[in-house]
Chains A and B, each alone.
Chain A
Amino acid sequence: MQASTVDLVADTASAAAARRTMAWIAGGLAAAATAAGAWLAPPDELQGDAQRLMYVHVPAAWVAYAAFAVVLMASGAYLIGGDLRWDRFARAAAELGVVLTAAAIATGSVWGHLVWGTWWAWDPRLVSTALLLLAYAGYLALRRALAERTGARDGGDHRVAKPAAVVGVAGFLLVPVVHFSVVWWRSLHQQATMLAPHRPPIDARMATALLLAVAAATLAACCVLLHRVVRMERRLAPEPAPTAERTPVRVG
């Protein structure tokens, strides 16, 4: 696991090729998920076609959780081992998580408008998700502020990495709050379907589309994360990277 991770973020032609392969697989999965979500899966009985937003909303939220879990693990690994590479992973994952949380809120807002009849509600799930977004935006702002104050380079300096890692670990406390908010408190937002202890009925085609979309989003996020870490390391390197190397494919 460790070896393959290090290999994949190496700035070499073979690592770039491996990352490209990953990106193609992610693209293939995304195409399959789009086909399944748009055509294979039937419209929902109550919600109609608006329910298809689930195939974007749930992957965005799920991968945001996963990205914050990466922030937690990478921050922990940095605090234990002191390797700045983990600090760069934490930063890249936090950026990804913030973007995906915002995407989950945006798609959820449209879905809420279409099905609930409101763009926003002061509901435990919605409010805790907004707090999650603020917390990790704050984490990124803290990194930036520390880098500017100390004149250190973000991603390459312990003066930024150490406080950031503490916040990166602490911030994860909000993730279970967001996830279980719909169980602990009375909310407008529905409870989980796929992760519920006793899974409520979901049409098999809908479940397939959802799982494909989650798989595609997870792999695409891995590609973006690796790409971002490689780019960060290239920028931090004292010597410019050899120009013969090919830039890895960017995945949206």
Chain B
Amino acid sequence: MALLAVLLAAGGLLVTSALRDTVTYYRTPAELLDDPDLAGHRVRLGGDVVPGSLRHDGDLVRFRLAAAGREIAVEQRGAPPETFREGTGAVVEGTLSSDGVFRSDHVVVRHGNEYRPSSPPVAPVDAR
């Protein structure tokens, strides 16, 4: 039983330390802009793709990510997933340069928990 307790304690420590690295999956634009220590470090930045900001420029994809009224211009190298579009959430991985542009090489789409048909239904109803 003592061995078991030690194993459980070690497991618990592992769990908490593993979760500490992962609990904040991404930073918001406000957190990144207000924390100068984060500039130049590789971080994940999350927000909504600002409608009208998306430009394809050869291999580069430019857009702005916004959350809670703050936004950051992003230059993403490499094609985003097919579900990537204006108005939906996205998380990019890269660094905030000194010119205020976030340069990323990885982008994932963050979608909500709402599900709607692609063509409007005859009578939109909420599931009860």
A interface residues with partner B (beta carbon < 8 Å): 42-48, 51, 54, 114-118, 121-124, 127-128, 131, 135, 138, 163, 166-167, 170, 174, 184-188, 190-194, 196, 199-208
Known contacts A191-B113, A196-B113, A46 near B88 by CB under 8 Å: yes
| Chain B interface, >50% SS class | loop
Task: Tell whether, in the assembled complex, residue A192 and residue B8 are in contact, meaning their CB atoms are under 8 Å apart.
Answer: no
A95 to B31: give the CA distance in the assembly, Å: 43
- Contact residues in B for A118 (Cβ distance below 8 Å): 106, 108
Which listed residue, A116, A121, A185, A200, touches B23 by the CB 8 Å rule?
A: A185
A189 to B87: give the CA distance in the assembly, Å: 18
Known contacts A190-B113, A200-B112, A185 near B25 by CB under 8 Å: yes
Name the interface residues of B1-34: CB closer than 8 Å to any CB of A: 1, 4, 8, 11, 15, 18-19, 21-26
A213 to B124: give the CA distance in the assembly, Å: 22
Confirm or deny: B110 has a beta carbon within 8 angstroms of a beta carbon on chain A.
Answer: yes
- Across the A-B interface, the 4 shortest Cβ-Cβ residue pairs: A117-B81, A207-B127, A42-B117, A185-B23
Task: Tell whether, in the assembled complex, residue A116 and residue B110 are in contact, meaning their CB atoms are under 8 Å apart.
Answer: yes
Known contacts A116-B81, A202-B127, A207-B127, A121 near B113 by CB under 8 Å: no
Task: Tell whether, in the assembled complex, residue B21 and residue A122 are in contact, meaning their CB atoms are under 8 Å apart.
Answer: yes
Known contacts A45-B117, A45-B118, A201-B126, A115 near B111 by CB under 8 Å: yes
A193 to B84: give the CA distance in the assembly, Å: 21
Task: Tell whether, in the assembled complex, residue A46 and residue B111 are in contact, meaning their CB atoms are under 8 Å apart.
Answer: yes
